[in-house]
Copies of this chain bind each other. A is one copy, B any other.
């Protein structure tokens, strides 16, 4: 609506996408992702954790009581890889690991107070940048941003995303 120039490509609803435009989107993803991770990375470096720890904390916070298998599928890594990270978080008292009541094979993961504190610090840093970007870009742009990102996901990963977010687009 508020889009000044309607190019002829847009009139038919079918976009004519030049390689140049696509390449630009690719580079935007590359550079933006570095910004996306830069702020939490600084905090993590102080505590000698890495991005993998951040991701685990994030998704445990997002689904408290989740099982290891569920987290594994969400993160898309091997159990050995996740276990290494999870072990340090449990040892450091940031994550709780409780035997399932219904199925005692399962372990339910949740954050301790200390875990919530770190997760909050990381999330706040990341959200600050997102908020600033959203405000610069405007509500409509944000809607488009999420729409394109969702269309880029693998269907398998999109399922996890929809499950977490409830499916509605911002």
Cross-chain contact B36 with A29 (CB below 8 angstroms): yes
Annotate A78-114 by CB proximity to B: 1 below 8 A, 0 otherwise.
0000000000000000000000000000000000000
User: Contacts A55-B30, A152-B35 given: A25-B139 contact, CB under 8 Å?
Assistant: no
State how many copies of this chain the complex holds.
2
Cross-chain contact A31 with B158 (CB below 8 angstroms): yes
Of A36, A136, A151, most buried by chain B (CB within 10 Å of CB) is A151
Cross-chain contact A25 with B138 (CB below 8 angstroms): no
Cross-chain contact A131 with B17 (CB below 8 angstroms): yes
24 A-B pairs whose Cβ atoms sit less than 8 Å apart in the complex = A16-B139, A21-B170, A22-B127, A22-B130, A25-B142, A25-B145, A26-B36, A28-B145, A28-B146, A28-B150, A28-B161, A29-B32, A31-B158, A32-B152, A32-B153, A34-B154, A134-B148, A134-B151, A137-B148, A138-B144, A140-B144, A142-B148, A145-B148, A145-B149
